Amino acid sequence: MGGATEQAQQARAGGDRGVTRQPAPWHRPVVLVALMLAAFTFNTAENLPIGLLQLISASLGVSPQAVGLLVTGYGVTVAVASLPLAHVTRAVPRRHVLTGVLATLVASSLLQALATSYGPLLVARLLTALAQALFWAVLGPVAVGLFAPALRGRVVGALSVAGSLALVLGVPAGTWLGRRSAWPVPVAALAALGLVSLVTIAVLLPASRPEEEPAAYGTSPDARRFATVLAAGTLSATGAFAGYTYIVKFLGEVSGFSPSTVSALFAAFGVACLAGTAITGAVLDRFPRSALTTAVATQAVGLLGLYAAGTRPVAAVVFLVLMGGALGPVFMTTQHAMLHCAPGRTDIALAANSGSYNAGIAAGAALGGLVLPLAGVRGTFLAGGLLTVGACAVLLAGRLLSGRGRSRRGRGHARDARRR
């Protein structure tokens, strides 16, 4: 992915072409809000079929499993397409990329709302997934580039809170609206939200060369750290979704909660995710490495705690909240790390991180499906917890290797000084 030499060359080239155009000061918070709205809209679009599953199934005359494919296929598309799309569009001004993906979101949402059969609905969903794959690659560099480097953690936190609100507010509200009217209505509403973001960004965000953006390159390029974060994030996603995919079944069969209580606990899980994201975002600039390690370790405790003590209702609630409080922060802290350690362009690094995380989600769901008939639903949480422990081990090994590298460099400098 290039490196410090490429970064220096790009910086010199940028200097030859002139200073990067930045929005006016009062435009910057407005653009950030538009980007937050877009993140909320994309995440709601991704997960809305879960809430509308029965309505879509009955309306189009297809099985619930086929409707579930609308979510699974979406995630796989994001995983596969993120890095190639980021590479293909690496020279396109970010305003043009953002307006393009948001225009695609608006058009594909309208196509979904107008679909009268399963085939066109699936095609339109995959079109939205392609737009989202590219959106997450360019979102971070554009958003954090609007503000001073010291505020990057808070900006990433704001974007993550907006994305988490999709599960806490967007999907429940869309489900409620669909049941009160028809399933295409909330899908069409997403097109309206996307249009608001599209117009705002098209008007207020200047166009500039991607390599000249303030956050186009990592602040501390480190290929080893990049690989460590990528591996830990993928393992964490796989572990989380090996269990999370079957959380409703676990709470009913293992913890003994009634269906109505399970629904309330599912909402509590979303609130915990939102709270964890907000709290982590507030401290991310001061403790970036510790925030990532803490989030992964908390997820491991939540998963293994549910496996070990999930038969006791009070303990199940405690560990469920811990798991929910970690789920959002894990992805947020890996994205934030990419803005610092990216060995080349940050958009390519973020695309790699988003793609690998979504691949982890798909792998986790598949792994849970394999473990379920062999070890029961508790076994899926054990498998997920052990994978998350593996992610902790990767982060620890990365720290130890980084410390040894700094120690060797220090001894080398000392020897050079003695020779002189």
**Within this chain, do residues 185 and 287 fall inside the same structural domain, yes or no?**
no
Q: pLDDT tens for residues 183-199?
A: 999 999 999 999 999 99
**Within this chain, do residues 328 and 257 fall inside the same structural domain, yes or no?**
yes
pLDDT at 18: 42
Question: Is the per-residue pLDDT at 292 higher than 60?
Answer: yes
**Within this chain, do residues 60 and 152 fall inside the same structural domain, yes or no?**
yes
Structural domain count, the chain: 2
**Within this chain, do residues 231 and 325 fall inside the same structural domain, yes or no?**
yes
Q: Of 158, 178, 212, which one is at a domain's C-terminal end?
A: 212
pLDDT at 167: 82
Q: Of 212, 247, 269, which one is at a domain's C-terminal end?
A: 212
What residue numbers bound the domain in which 346 lies?
A: 223-406
Q: Of 149, 184, 212, which one is at a domain's C-terminal end?
A: 212
Mean pLDDT of 174-184: 92
**Given pLDDT bands bounded at 50, 70 and 90, which one contains residue 14?**
very low
Q: pLDDT tens for residues 41-86?
A: 999 998 888 788 889 989 999 888 788 788 888 888 988 999 999 9
Report how far apart, in Å, the C-alpha atoms of 295 and of each of 131, 154, 268, 354 are.
28, 16, 18, 17
**Within this chain, do residues 152 and 238 fall inside the same structural domain, yes or no?**
no
d(CA 361, CA 418): 53
Mean pLDDT of 130-150: 90
The overall average pLDDT reported for the chain is 87
Reported pTM: 0.81
Question: Is the per-residue pLDDT at 320 higher than 60?
Answer: yes
**Within this chain, do residues 207 and 237 fall inside the same structural domain, yes or no?**
no
Q: pLDDT tens for residues 94-117?
A: 899 999 999 999 999 999 999 999
Question: Is the per-residue pLDDT at 168 higher than 90?
Answer: no
Mean pLDDT of 256-267: 88
Question: Is the per-residue pLDDT at 12 higher than 50?
Answer: no
